[in-house]
Amino acid sequence: MSKKPDLPQPSATDPFADFLCFSVYSTGLAFNRLYKPLLDRYGLTYLQYLALIALALRGEQTVSELGESLFLESSTVTPLIKRLEAAGTVTRRRDTRDERVVRVSLTDRGKAILEEARCVPLEVMEATGTPPEQLQLLNEQLKALRAKLVTKSD
């Protein structure tokens, strides 16, 4: 009677694993844990590292723009960049045209640290033991999903 065979039902024994939001969440934690000891050597946290990368690749940005780059609110970005400033890796300076905006840019020291840490993401990607094209595909899927989620939360 065409009864359904036992297809490789991914997690029949553990329905908790089937929450996509949880997989995204916990994979993020796993990335964080893998990066942490590698970045410790440069005195950077995971988020601080991402912020420096964003500044390196996109250039000087206002606090708001950096928030958009990192998908963070200004209430998170402000203390973040203050710590980076204290560490001497970025500069904050008020726009003379519009005193409300603060422009953030990498210092030479920030650039130098990024240069030293150049190999870190490669190490992490190799640690995944997954072919690059597959990682790239996953990245594209996640970006598409993120785009949908962002529009739904305004």
Partner DNA sequence: ATCATTTAAATCGCATACGAGTTAATCGTG
Partner DNA sequence: CACGATTAACTCGTATGCGATTTAAATGAT
Q: For residues 92 and 102, is the Cβ–Cβ distance under 8 A? A: yes
Q: Does 101 bind DNA (CB under 7 A)?
A: yes
Q: Does 99 bind DNA (CB under 7 A)?
A: yes
Q: For residues 113 and 105, is the Cβ–Cβ distance under 8 A? A: no
- Closest approach, Cβ 6 to DNA, in A, equals 34
CA distances from 20 to 5, 16, 130, 141, 145 (A): 25, 10, 20, 13, 11
Exactly one of 1, 20, 86, 122 binds a second copy (CB under 8 A); that residue is: 20
Pick 3 or 100: Cβ nearer DNA:
100
Q: Does 73 bind DNA (CB under 7 A)?
A: yes
Q: Does 95 bind a second copy (CB under 8 A)?
A: no
CA distance 1 to 25: 41
Which spans of this chain sit near DNA (rule: CB under 7 A)? 25, 29, 32-33, 36, 45-48, 62-65, 71-83, 92, 97-103
